[in-house]
Amino acid sequence: MNFKKRIDREEIMDHTTIELEPLAAAYRDINRSNELLGGYSATFKTLRKLIATARSSGPVRILDMGCGDGGMLRYLAERFRKLNITVEFLGLDLNSDALVLARENSREYQEITFGCANILEYHGEALRYDYVLCTLTLHHFSDHDIPRVISVCQSCCDRAVIINDLHRSKTAYYLFKIFSAIFIRSAIAINDGLISIRRAFRKRELQELSKKFPNWEHKIKWHWAYRYIWVIKKKRPTPS
Ligand SMILES: C[S@@+](CC[C@H](N)C(=O)[O-])C[C@H]1O[C@@H](n2cnc3c(N)ncnc32)[C@H](O)[C@@H]1O
C-alpha cells in the first residue's frame, strides 16, 4: 500500500445517507478514538496555552468547523469550566443529522450552540471568533479545496486557527487496524478511519500549504498518536 500521496477516496460519512443510529455509533467511536489517542487533549493544551498568553476581556469565542456530534466542544467545555474560563462555542457542520445528535448530546452545555453550514460556502466575516478549530475535517477536502477551507477559517478568526488532523503514515494505518479491532465497534468508523489516514497529511505538505498564507504565523507540531496540530496565528500589526 502506497502512502506517498493522499488518496482520492470518499469516506462513507461523506457520500451516503446514513440512518441516525449508525451515524451516532460512528461518532461515538470517533469520540472514543479522540479521547484515547490524544486528539482532544492536543487541541485543549494548544488552546489553553494560546488563551493564557492572550489578553482579553469577556468570554473566549470558539468556532468549530466540521463539529460532527459536538464531542470536541463538550470536552473543551468541561475543561474550561474547571479552569473558570468563560467560553462561548459555536459548532458548524454540513450534516444536519450530525447536528441533531450534537444538540441532543449537548443539552447540559448552555455555552455550546450549533448551526448547519458548508465550510466551502461559509461567509462568516461578520461574526468574529477568537479561535477557529478544524479537527479531523481538513482531510475530507481535496487538495484543490483545502486552501479555501483555511481562508474561510481565517476570515472569521481574530487570534488563531487550530487545525488538528492525522499524519499519513503506514505505521499509523497498521496501528489503527490493531486499535480498531479492540476499541471500535462501528464498521463505518473502521472504514472511514483507515481512509482518513490515507487522505491525511505529511508535515512537508502542511508546510507547503502554509506558504500560501504568508501574512499568518505558522507552527506545525506532531503529537501522539499520529496527529499534527497546525496553529495559524494572526500576525500582530507592527507598530508604526
Ligand atoms: C471525521 S468528522 C470530525 C468531527 C469532529 N470535528 C471530531 O474531531 O471528532 C468530520 C466532519 O466534517 C464534516 N464535514 C465534511 N465536509 C464538510 C463541509 N464541507 N462543511 C462542513 N462540515 C463538513 C462532516 O459532516 C463530519 O461531521
**Domain presence at residue 3:** no
Distance of CA 37 to the CA centre of its chain: 14
**Which ligand 1 atom sits nearest the alpha carbon of residue 31?**
9
Q: How far apart are CA 139 and CA 188, in angstroms?
A: 17
Specify the pLDDT at position 104.
98
pLDDT for res 189: 97
**What's the pLDDT at 235?**
85
Closest C-alpha residue for ligand 1 atom 13 = 66
Q: What is the mean pLDDT of residues 83-100?
A: 96
Residue 2 included in any domain: no
- Which numbered atom of ligand 1 lies nearest the CA of 39? 8
Q: Is residue 88 part of a domain?
A: yes
Q: Which 3 state secondary structure label does DSSP give 167?
A: strand
Q: Do the Cβ atoms of 88 and 59 come closer than 8 Å?
A: yes
Q: What does the pLDDT look like over 145-166, one tens digit per residue? A: 999 999 999 999 999 999 999 9
More confident residue, 56 or 7: 7
pLDDT at 125: 76
Per-residue cell: 110? 448552555
The residue with cell 440512518 is 19
CATH of the domain at 61: 3.40.50.150
Cα 56 to Cα 189: distance, rounded to the nearest angstrom: 39
Closest CA relative to residue 134, chosen from 115, 150, 155:
150
**Is 70 near ligand 1, meaning CB less than 6 Å away?**
no
Q: Is the CB of 93 under 6 A from ligand 1?
A: yes
All three cell numbers of 6, joined, read 493522499
Q: How many domains does the chain have?
A: 1
Question: Domain range holding 194?
Answer: 12-234
